[in-house]
Amino acid sequence: MNEQQVLEALHRVRDDIAVGPPPVLQVHAGAVRRRRARVAGLAAAAAVVTVAGVVTVGLVGGDEDGRPEPARQVENPAPVAWWGDGVLHVAHAEVEIARPWTMVDVGDGVVLEVAAPELGEQAESTLVHVTDDGTQSEIGTQTLGRRLVTDPDTGWVAWAVGSEGEAPELVVLDTRTGEEVGRRELPVDLPRRQVFGAEPAPIAIDDGSVYYTGPDGDYRWDVAAGAEPERVTTGDTHLLDVEAGTQLTTDDKGQVLVPGARYAVSQSGIGSQVRVFDVATGDRVPSGLEPDDAPDQIAFGTDGTITYAFSTPWRRPDDFDPETEIPRSTPPRWLVTCTLGTDTCTTVVDGIGGDEEIVLP
Distance between CA atoms of residues 297 and 352, nearest Å: 15
Looking at residue 119, its pLDDT comes to 54
Looking at residue 205, its pLDDT comes to 92
Distance between CA atoms of residues 270 and 191, nearest Å: 30
In 3-state terms, what secondary structure has residue 240? strand
Distance between CA atoms of residues 239 and 245, nearest Å: 13
Pair 103, 112: CB distance under 8 Å: yes
Looking at residue 327, its pLDDT comes to 62
Neighbour tally for 288: CB within 10 Å: 22
Q: What is the 3-state secondary structure (H, E, C) of the chain?
A: CCHHHHHHHHHHHHHHCCCCCCCCCCCCCCHHHHHHHCCEEECCCCCEEECCCCCCCCCCCCCCCCCCCCCECCCCCCCCCEEECCEEEECCEEEECCCCCEEEECCCEEEEEECCCCCCCCCEEEEEEEECCCCEEEEEEEECCCCEEEECCCCEEEEEECCCCCCCEEEEEECCCCEEEEEEECCCCCCCCCCCCCCCCEEEEECCEEEEEECCEEEEEECCCCCCCEECCCCCEEEEEEECCEEEEEECCCCEECCCCCEEEEECCCCCCEEEEECCCCCEECCCCCCCCCCCEEEECCCCEEEEEEEECCCCCCCCCCCCCCCCCEEEEEEEEEECCCCCEEEEEEEECCCCCCECC
pLDDT tens across the length of the chain (361 residues)? 445 545 554 444 444 444 333 333 333 323 222 222 222 233 333 332 222 222 222 323 455 555 656 789 999 999 999 999 999 999 999 999 888 999 999 999 999 998 866 555 557 889 999 999 999 999 999 888 888 999 988 999 999 987 666 778 999 999 999 999 999 998 776 655 566 666 788 999 998 999 998 878 899 999 989 889 999 988 778 888 887 776 777 765 443 333 345 677 777 666 667 877 776 677 888 888 888 888 888 888 878 888 999 998 776 777 777 776 666 678 899 999 999 878 899 999 999 998 888 999 9
Q: What is the 3-state secondary structure (H, E, C) of 134-194?
A: CCEEEEEEEECCCCEEEECCCCEEEEEECCCCCCCEEEEEECCCCEEEEEEECCCCCCCCC
Looking at residue 183, its pLDDT comes to 95
Looking at residue 198, its pLDDT comes to 64
Cα distance from N-terminal residue to C-terminal residue, the chain: 24
In 3-state terms, what secondary structure has residue 207? coil
Looking at residue 326, its pLDDT comes to 63
- Give the β-pairing of 136-143 and 124-131: antiparallel
Looking at residue 57, its pLDDT comes to 29
Pair 66, 114: CB distance under 8 Å: yes
User: The whole model's pTM is what?
Assistant: 0.75
Neighbour tally for 307: CB within 10 Å: 26
Phi and psi, residue 321, nearest 5°: -115, 105
Looking at residue 343, its pLDDT comes to 86
Q: Which residues on neighbouring strands pair with residue 109, listed in sequence order?
A: 131
